[in-house]
Structure 1
Amino acid sequence: MAPTPTRWPTATSLAHAPRSGKQAMRTALARVIPRMHRPDTYQVTQSLKAAVAAIIAWSLTGWWLTAPMALMAPWAAVALVQGTVYRSVRTATQLLLMITAGTLIAAGAAALTGNTMAAMVIALPLTVLLGNLAPVGGQGLYAPTTALFVLAYGSYSLPAVGHRLLETAVGAAVGIAVNAAILPPVHSRHVNRLACALPRDCAELLRDMGDAMRDYDAQRAEQWHRNAHDLLAALSELHVARGWDSESFRLNPGHRLRRRTPVPSTAWDIVWARVANRLLALTLTLWEAASEQRGLPLPPQSVMADVGRLLSAAAEVCSADEPIMAHGGDEERCGRRNDALAAAHRALADVKEHLRGQRPDVGAALGSLTADCQALLDDLAPDAADADVPPARARRGEGPL
């Protein structure tokens, strides 16, 4: 087989090379930029605080104490500007333990062997294992990295070990002090934003379903089902955010000086968890009804029009819940909510009327859909013990509320 001739770059290819490189760079930037988002106030504040803490720690150890390895102080200071003051204190304890262990193990291995490579063979497996086994979370990484610093720089004499631990302690103290003294983080605003987004997202999904109920297809129903899954993910994110909000007031010396945004009651989380799970079941029913693989046919368009009216009214109930969650339930807001819920029940009564005289297969599909809608309205009418909404009352001619 003849060898393939080597192709040398021509003048044309060389002329196009820079253009190809620019095009590749533009393509890479086009992929990265959509994933980037504008930093919020919290991210900017914490980033600046970490930078300030690092500068102060470096000044104290490198300039004032003239420490031989002042890097440890700003390194620890940046790591300890955490999302809450309590987390800064807890992380500082874990970090100091891991750095102390890594330093002592590395210094002991070096003193025992007198050789850097041999000391690494002894110290690194021990520190990595310690970092993985100790209940310190991500701080376990500091044990082997500190051992590497100690052995790489050859600073494992007793005074050097003392300096290293002192520098780390100074950096930890500076990081905690800066995080606690300068705008200590409070996360109630994030909780309020996530909680109030739940009724808005449920309303958008229900409104989209109601508008398209006459002529939707399986592809659109599949997208509804995915959106219902997203609601459950948002609930999980809210649960995590509530934990951060509660933690941000522990060991926070400035919690009375920081303005805390009122957050909706945790009872609302239970309400929207029920609604989200009900929407997941409802969208699955609609998806299966529109699928060609399903043996049951779709109900007639006149029936689906009433279902769409029901879902649109349920969307108005969710929309009314957003200002109630954010500002409380006054007479006007609760009246708007009760009116929308009454309209939804009237539409449900019309849907139930269609159950009479249907063919068995159509009746089976419509019965499943009606049961899901009934359960959804039950979940949207919580008792006063479940949420800060007055209990719904029956109105003459409007069905149960």
Structure 2
Amino acid sequence: MGVTATSPRIVQALKAAIAVAIAWSIAPLLPGVADDYPYYAPLGALVSMYPTLMSSVRNALQTLGGLTVGILLAGAVIVLSDPNVLTISLAVGVGAAIAATGWFGASREYIPVTALFVLIVGGPNADGYSIGYLVQMTLGILVGLAVNLVFFPPLAFEAVGHQLARFRATLAGQLSEVADALTDSWPPEQDGWASRSQALVEVGRAVRAAVSHADDSRKGNPRARVHRRDLRSDYDELSALESVTFHVRDLTEMLAAAVWGQPVQLELRPELRPALSRTLHAVAAVLRDWDPDDDEQSAFAEADAALQDLMTELDQRRSSSPVTSLGVAATVAMDLTRILAALRPQIMPEPEAEAAPDATPAR
């Protein structure tokens, strides 16, 4: 996929350049010792430029926290002893241990680095260096946050719809491939469907990451008041599709075992394959046409009819066939039933009429 002039990455890069330019222009105007360290302001602007406003604020706070802890560690060395190889190494080691806790997120490395800079670069002027470092970084971070807020704060809503549609199409394609394999020569020549189980999981993870990113992008974002999206509905759809993924993987593994006998030996009666194939195609059509806001969808009716025909055929053969020979088809039918249940629009049942009070007088 190409990168256009309006793509989020290009916009973010331009915003970072603007923030650095503003921070570098303002940095020399600060009074006191901060004026001696203007180069830290552009660095602060860079570390605050994240894809969403909330992630920018979160990282900015973690960065300032890491800087403060590093300065305090260096200050403890200066107050309690003289900076030397042993005390500097100890301060850096303690800083690295604090960073390893994960409390400061992606900015955790600033803790040991700041302690090292204050003790070595600051040297005899450690107090002035610490103040200038912290003040200029704070200035840069504030500039970065302001630029991120004012210039097109990103909303990742559009990607959610595309990712959910991709998820549905992937699951529908998997069911269709399995359905085609059932009517192919036996064993089927096309076997790609049998090894796609983990790929379905990876698609689901990518979609969940996209929905989570969109949710994060709206927090504190003024554009979210104009460009609205019901992310609760997206989370519900994602949850339904994740449930569908579980059952698609299950029926795929069952049918693969029936074809190749791996990892267990299972049997699928040849006369049941056409009905299974029709039902799989019908459920795949539900996924392709699914609209969670539409209570009446023709694809559901066709899938229900195909599933009912499959169940009827299984019942008819139950008396004349060993139970083990129907197990694979019955399990697949149950998976398909649960897929339809997960996809079916959730219609609230009508409240039951309240029972009329007993008019019979008490005796």
Q: What band does the TM-score fall into relative to the shorter chain? A: 0.7 to 0.9
Match runs of 1:295-306 below 5 Å: 295-300=265-270, 302-306=271-275
Q: How far does the alpha carbon of each residue in 1:30-74 deviate from its partner, in whole angstroms, 9 at most, with x for none? A: xxxxxxx64572222223222322222222215777833333222
Query: What is the count of residue pairs matched by the alignment?
Result: 340
Write the mapping of 1:249-328 to structure 2, written as runs, cut at 5 A: 249-257=218-226, 259-260=227-228, 264-292=233-261, 294-300=264-270, 302-321=271-290, 324-325=291-292, 328=293
Q: Secondary structure at the match of 1:371?
A: helix
CA separation of 1:344/1:359 partners in 2, compared to 1, >3 Å: closer, same or farther? closer
Consecutive unaligned residues in structure 2, runs of 5 or more? 349-363
Per-residue deviation, 1:286? 0.7
Deviations 1:329-359 (A, max 9, x none): 386xx23x23432452255246426634655
> Which amino acid is 2:252 matched to?
T
SS in 1 for 2:196: helix
The runs of 5 or more residues in structure 1 that have no matched partner are 1-36, 389-401
1:344 aligns with 2:306: yes
- Contact 1:53/1:178, CA 8 A, preserved across alignment: yes
1:95 correspondence with 2:55: no
How far residue 255 of structure 1 moved from its aligned partner, in angstroms, is 2.7
- The reply to whether residue 372 of structure 1 matches residue 332 of structure 2 is yes
- Displacement of 1:173: 0.4
Corresponding position of 1:209: 178
User: CA–CA distance in 1 between the matches of 2:209 and 2:153?
Assistant: 19
CA contact (8 A) 1:104 1:161 kept: no
Match of 2:167 in 1: 198
Q: Is the 8 A contact 1:49 1:182 kept in 2?
A: yes
- TM-score (norm: length of structure 2): 0.80
Which residue identity lines up with residue 196 of structure 2 in the other structure? N
In 2: Cα distance, 1:386 partner to 1:232 partner? 25
Partners of 1:175 and 1:387 in 2: CA distance? 47
Shift of 1:204: 0.6
8 Å CA contact retained: 1:95, 1:139: yes
Task: Say yes or no: does 1:128 pair with 2:96.
Answer: yes
Residues 189 and 260, structure 1, Cα contact 8 Å, conserved in 2: no
Does residue 227 (structure 1) correspond to residue 201 (structure 2)? The answer is no
Partner Cα distance (2:277, 2:75) in 1: 73
CA distance 1:310–1:284, shift in 2 (3 Å): same
How far apart are residue 380 of structure 1 and its match? Answer: 1.2
After superposition, where does 1:19-98 map in structure 2 within 5 Å?
38-39=2-3, 41-62=7-28, 67-98=35-66
> In structure 2, what is the Cα distance between the partners aligned to 1:174 and 1:102?
23
Partner amino acid for 2:107? Q
Q: In the TM superposition, what whole-angstrom CA distance separates every residue of 1:99-158 from its partner, at most 9, and x where no partner exists?
A: 122123225435665555344223211211222236222222111112233334235432
Contact 2:267 2:325 in 1 (8 A): yes
Distance 2:26 2:186 in 1: 67
Is residue 2:121 matched to residue 1:161? no
Separation in 1 of the partners of 2:286 and 2:132? 64
Q: Give, in whole Å, the separation in 1 of the partners of 2:188 and 2:107.
A: 48
